[in-house]
Amino acid sequence: MQKTVAFSKHATNVFFHILTQCNLTCKHCYINPAHHGKKKLDLATIAAWLAVFVKKSPSANVIFLGGEPTLHPDLPLAVNKAKDLGYQSITIDTNGYLFNDILAKVTPRMVDYFSFSLDGATRKTNDAIRGEGSYDTCINGIKKAVHKGFSTSLIYTVSKINLHELTAMEPLVKELGIDRFFIQVIGIRGRSAAVGRDRLQVSRSEWLDIIPRAAEKIARTGITVVYPKVFLRTDEPFECAGLVAENYFIFPNGRVYRCPLCEDFPLHSELFDDNRLIDTPKINEKDLFNLNVPEGCVMNKLIQPGNLVYNRDGTPQYKIACCMLKEEVSGSNSTL
């Protein structure tokens, strides 16, 4: 069964980049040290910032990110702190190298999901994107996590390099025992902005022709598949998560964004100053969320307008949905 997942208005989702260091150099990495910083947050700072957001909602969720978060030696202690503070769910996003013996220092009762990034059904394709040896290492990391009883997710960032292998992920996710499969779209930010849109992003026709059917096919393995909606018809309503949801994207230099499309620019709406979360001066991303444009997402129009196509009269042929709007295909009820 496929459904559009509405924005949660009652939960706080914290995407917490505790460092920007990584052992890989993926072609589509969005980390931008000029805007995200290079430092590794100390445990006291992580704890202080976690405490700010859990107060906003009794059902707060945290996703620990990097760089590669398992490179941070205090990640297990940060997980413990998040648990003590009352976070409803805790996820660790990882490239699968699982540094610092992380699987031995946390338990399935502490971490709700280990979410692994794999961008190819074959070693050749994945390693061309993420680096030599990353395919085998990630597969081994997933197997170790599943063996230890952790719930696992798999993130597949679709590009022109790996689109042809998306449907081939079906037997792999089944074999590995993955619980959730996330299909991501490349945003033009970080390293992908330097590589260029035309070399990485798939077209609208490719996305609509391939992604929904691939999601249905993979969901037949019994897992839930989630992917961004991306495109709306011109008669479909547009809704911005920045106006109705509590999503926070936090970076080590203290910048806090509400929209991930803005992360390559000093448009952050909030900032940590001496562990206090303060509003930034105008103009910032919040001032743009209320703008109503026929193209849908105003951030997309400003930052990555190459995603749009216009009719001869100047009207857009379609809208771009908020990047946080997702389609979900339930594995238990999916049919082709």
User: In the chain, what are the domain boundaries?
Assistant: 2-294+321-329
pTM of the complete model beyond 0.75: yes
Residue 212 CA to residue 180 CA, distance in Å, equals: 16
Nearest to 247 by CA among 263, 258, 261, 239: 258
Predicted confidence at residue 131, as pLDDT, reads: 97
Question: Mean pLDDT for each 10-residue chunk of the chain (336 residues)?
Answer: 71 95 95 94 98 89 97 98 97 98 98 98 98 98 98 97 96 96 91 76 95 95 95 96 95 97 96 97 95 96 93 98 94 51
261-302: pLDDT as tens digits = 999 999 999 999 999 999 999 999 999 999 999 999 999 999
Predicted confidence at residue 199, as pLDDT, reads: 78
What is 2-294+321-329's CATH number?
3.20.20.70
207-263: pLDDT as tens digits = 999 999 999 999 999 999 999 999 999 999 999 999 999 999 999 999 999 999 999
Instruction: Count Cβ atoms below 10 Å from residue 283 Cβ, excluding itself.
Output: 9
Predicted confidence at residue 334, as pLDDT, reads: 39
Predicted confidence at residue 332, as pLDDT, reads: 63
Predicted confidence at residue 285, as pLDDT, reads: 97
Predicted confidence at residue 333, as pLDDT, reads: 44
